Amino acid sequence: MSEQAETRNNKHAEQVTKLADAMLRTALWPAVGIVVIGAVVGLVWVGTAGLFGAFVGGAVAFASSLATLFMMRKSAAMDPMAVMAVALGGYVFKMLVIFGVMTLLRGVDALHTLSLAITMMAVILVWAGAEMVAFKRTKVPTIIP
């Protein structure tokens, strides 16, 4: 059975996919705006190193946030408890990857570390807030009979 057919036959998977779509639509443009603001501030603040740092920080944050939606889609057809386990495991893995990337990028002279970190944190916070707004607006039943 194909993944799409399996999702259509599973009400839980249908709701998780619906929620992932709403989260992406709600979070994408505000996060892009934060990256642009971070890049402009970084450029004015420290020059091209700030610009590059902000873009790299935004890219890392985007990758992290999109990974969450990817995990939601891939685990949607699983048992709801397995989805929660994937979410927790995915969160831990993402944090380890972010810490590793930040450690590796700390020594790169072409990137302003503080500009990178501030932009990354701003994008992650705005994305998480937008996901929360999307969750509240999306009509997803808490109990699926």
- 142: pLDDT strictly greater than 90: no
Q: Per the confidence metrics, is the pTM higher than 0.85? A: no
108 — pLDDT class (breaks 50, 70, 90): confident
Report the alpha-carbon distance of residue 121 to residue 74 in Å, rounded.
26
Name which of 115, 125, 127, 129 is nearest 31 in CA terms.
Answer: 127
Residue pair 17/7 in contact by the 8 Å Cβ criterion: yes
Report the alpha-carbon distance of residue 106 to residue 117 in Å, rounded.
10
Average pLDDT of the segment spanning 21-31: 92
Average pLDDT of the segment spanning 36-56: 94
Report the alpha-carbon distance of residue 32 to residue 115 in Å, rounded.
16
